[in-house]
Amino acid sequence: MEKISSRLKRLLDEKGLKQTDLAVRTSISQSTISKYVRGASEPKSRELHAISKALGVSMDSWFSGLPPADEYERDENWKFRAANAERTLREVEAAVLKYNQGKKIESSKK
């Protein structure tokens, strides 16, 4: 999955914005934006929300591995990948549930 710093750099380039532009739009200092772009630190949820709003992307796009909402029109396979991600998540949740139920059964036998 793409790191927040890489995604932020790419989005700034795609939108033709400078770090100072983003700083003005978000009320986050330019030096802090620079740290996020370099990967020296990661934004807290409040800052990430402001950055998302300023760049016109959804909050979940930073973590889902899916393209930002404005890229859906250019990406024909996003529905397929989203469905696969949902299916994988359900499989993992089912496996965790089964594992936890097995642990409960083992502990009740003791």
pLDDT of residue 4: 87
What does the pLDDT look like over 78-102, one tens digit per residue?
677 777 788 888 898 888 888 888 7
pLDDT of residue 48: 92
pLDDT of residue 80: 73
Copy the structure tokens of residue 75.
Answer: 């990406």
99 versus 25: the higher-pLDDT residue is 25
Integer Cα distance of 102 and 88 in angstroms? 21
Model confidence, pTM: 0.58
What does the pLDDT look like over 46-68, one tens digit per residue?
999 999 999 988 887 787 655 55
- Per the CB < 8 A criterion, the answer to whether 3 and 42 are in contact is no
Copy the structure tokens of residue 9.
Answer: 């750099």
